[in-house]
């Protein structure tokens, strides 16, 4: 994985990212992802590869005022757009590579990976690294607005560093999480939808 090339790629897209074509019901599906990912009592939430903040509107509402949301992205211009849209002080923003985050292990109630997993290289080591940040009793959730076949075909038609980025099936992702000791709560995949959620045993 070439993090520098990906950073440049996403920085170049940052100021027009939110105007790129998207399904007309994307906000409804984003809200569904957040609703299924966040549980009552989740107080420290990590949004990995947050981009310009596609989850934030739904996430702020679902998490409530007592929650602390941490947005991370490798592309500083994505984070700048994220901050411009929602400048709330309660939202922390950290520019860092997803697999080299500057956080202590087992610190988050919920780790969200929406639209980012294919860009992190091989799924097994990527999930193992992100799993470290989930506290006992916490969850890791992955989601996309396409199933794996749709998304992989879409990436394959692009130019640039994301052309070969691939997403495993939901069933395969669930297998990997199970091998890490996770209790898989959901592994859903259908046209226009991908959702895998796993809980770390206490």
Q: What is the pLDDT, as a whole number, of residue 87?
A: 87
> pLDDT means per 10 residues in the chain (202 residues)?
82 92 93 97 97 95 92 97 88 95 97 97 96 98 97 93 95 98 98 97 95
Tell me the domains of the chain and their CATH numbers.
3-199 (3.40.50.150)
CA separation for the pair 66, 172 (Å, rounded): 35
CA separation for the pair 162, 155 (Å, rounded): 6
Q: What is the pLDDT, as a whole number, of residue 11?
A: 93
Determine the 3-state secondary structure of 68 from DSSP. strand
Joined together, the tokens standing for residue 92 give 């922390």
Q: What is the pLDDT, as a whole number, of residue 192?
A: 95
pTM of structure: 0.95
Q: Which of 169, 195, 193 is nearest to 184 (CA)?
A: 195
Q: What is the pLDDT, as a whole number, of residue 25?
A: 95
Joined together, the tokens standing for residue 60 give 């702020």
Q: What is the pLDDT, as a whole number, of residue 82?
A: 96
* Phi/psi of residue 72, nearest 5 degrees: -130, 145
């Amino acid at each position: 994985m070439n993090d520098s090339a990906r950073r440049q790629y996403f920085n170049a897209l940052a100021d027009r990212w939110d105007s790129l074509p998207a399904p007309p019901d994307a906000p409804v599906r984003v809200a569904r992802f957040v609703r299924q990912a966040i549980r009552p009592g989740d107080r420290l939430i990590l949004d990995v590869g947050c981009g310009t903040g596609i989850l934030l509107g739904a996430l702020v509402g679902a998490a409530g005022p007592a929650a602390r949301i941490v947005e991370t992205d490798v592309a500083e211009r994505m984070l700048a757009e994220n901050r411009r849209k929602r400048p709330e002080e309660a939202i922390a923003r950290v520019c860092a590579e997803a697999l080299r985050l500057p956080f202590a292990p087992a610190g988050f109630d919920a780790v969200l990976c929406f639209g980012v997993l294919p860009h992190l290289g091989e799924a097994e080591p990527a999930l193992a690294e992100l799993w470290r940040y989930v506290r006992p009793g916490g969850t890791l959730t992955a989601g996309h607005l396409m199933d794996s076949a749709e998304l992989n075909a879409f990436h394959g038609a692009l130019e640039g560093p994301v052309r070969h980025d691939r997403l495993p099936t939901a069933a395969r992702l669930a297998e990997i999480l199970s091998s890490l000791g996770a209790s898989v709560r959901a592994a859903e995949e259908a046209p226009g939808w991908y959702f895998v959620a796993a809980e770390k045993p206490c």
